[in-house]
Structure 1
Amino acid sequence: MSSAVRKRIQKKFKIRGYTLRIDALDPILSFTNRFLGAEDEALDLLLDHLQSQSQKLGVKSSILDKEPVSRVIASLLAADDAVEEDFISDGAVSSSTSAIRVIDAF
């Protein structure tokens, strides 16, 4: 199963124009494993943030190694933890794996 997931990760990154080094695959794999059932959405979110980060920094290389990937993953996990803490502090019941988060904007 792990090799199929690795191939899917590499394929998604290649579609977006990125080439992954071997050392970058493990953090991405552990990141997607945190979101069971929503791995594709987690990958898309990671790719969107990597693209945004590379545009801000003016990075021209499409080859990704562990350092930039780990930095973006850490910021995404910190944001998810902050949202989860706010959710718990509001008196709502917490679940460790929430696939859908509803935010009322109106």
Structure 2
Amino acid sequence: MNAPTKKKIQKKCKIRGYNIKVEALDEILSFVTRFEPAEQDEAIDLVLDQLENESLKSTIIDVEPVQRVVNLLLEADAKEETTDNFASSSSSAIAVINVFDVPRYKYDAIRRNFYQ
């Protein structure tokens, strides 16, 4: 089961121009296996997108940046779950928006765009 997923991760890394070390591959694989099989492609892409946002010094992906990205994604997921639990347990879900904080836009029919 893990062999096709490993090959998929390696293939996606090669497409993006990266070589991946075995330890980094195992770290990404452990993160991706937390998801359903239908969502695993998106999880791989998410990790690789976040790795591109990291300033990688070479085209070889090492385990340290992968661990940072995976930990960041897991923390974000944990925060999302806690806020979902809080929102579902609250009695009302009303958001108040101050009208003075939102900029006022007008439409110019000649130029066909909005301006402030």
Which TM-score tier does this pair reach, normalised by the shorter chain?
Answer: 0.7 to 0.9
Q: Which has the larger radius of gyration?
A: 2
Q: Give TM-score, length-normalised by structure 2.
A: 0.72
Q: Match of 1:45, as an amino acid?
A: L
Looking at structure 2, the residues matched to 32 and 42 of structure 1 have their Cα atoms a distance apart, in angstroms, of 6
Aligned residue number for residue 111 of structure 2: none
| Correspondence list, 1:41-52, <5 A | 41-52=42-53
Residue 15 (str. 1) matches residue 15 (str. 2): yes
The normalised TM-score by structure 1 is 0.78
Q: Which 4+ stretches in 1 moved above 2 angstroms?
A: none
1:60: Cα distance to partner? 3.2
**Structure 1, residues 49-87: CA drift from partner, whole Å, max 9, x if none?**
100112xxxx33010111110110100110011011100
Could you tell me which of 63, 67, 70 is aligned with 1:66? 63
Q: 1: CA distance between counterparts of 2:57 and 2:88? A: 45
Alignment of 1:1-106 (within 5 A): 1-36=1-36, 37-54=38-55, 59-91=56-88
The answer for the alignment partner of 2:105 in structure 1 is none
Give me the whole-angstrom Cα distance separating, in 2, the residues matched to 1:22 and 1:60.
18
Aligned residues: 88
Q: CA RMSD in A?
A: 1.1
Structure whose residues are more often helix by fraction: 1
More contact order relative to length (CA 8 Å, sep ≥ 6): 1
Q: Which runs of 5+ in 1 are unaligned?
A: 93-106
Q: Which amino acid letter does the alignment assign opposite residue 27 of structure 2? A: P
In the alignment, residue 39 of structure 1 is paired with which amino acid? Q
Q: Which residue identity lines up with residue 72 of structure 1 in the other structure?
A: V
